[in-house]
Amino acid sequence: MLGPNPPVHPGEILREEFLLPLALTPYGVARALGVPRTRIERLAREETPVTADTALRLGRYFGTGPEFWMNLQTNFDLAATAAKLPELAAIAPVRAA
């Protein structure tokens, strides 16, 4: 079950835990990753999700592994979707025999 806290977008983690503390710019990271500047800018502004391609590149660059970035995105997606599904609570789990 998902907690009461609002979901954290991977872009917030990128911005607050990597870009700001390491004094990196989205342009510099994008250049190092070999991706368009706008991809990292939009991610850091929480306007776009982390894709598998971006996760692989960020994981390599920051030494976190791609799973870190994909798990952040998956958790964000699940929490954001669950918040839009009030009928989810009415679904009774199946009971094993």
Q: Which of 51, 43, 48, 93 is nearest to 70 (CA)?
A: 51
Tokens of 57: 């590149």
Per-residue tens of pLDDT for the chain, all 97 residues: 455 678 899 999 999 999 999 999 999 999 999 999 999 999 999 999 999 999 999 999 999 999 999 999 999 999 999 999 999 989 999 987 7
- Residue 26 and residue 57: Cα distance in Å, rounded? 13
Q: How many CA atoms lie within 13 A of 89 on its CB side?
A: 4
Per the CB < 8 A criterion, the answer to whether 59 and 66 are in contact is: yes
Q: Is the pTM of this model over 0.85?
A: yes
Q: Where do the domains of the chain lie, and which CATH numbers do they carry?
A: 10-77 (1.10.260.40)
DSSP three-state, residue 97: coil
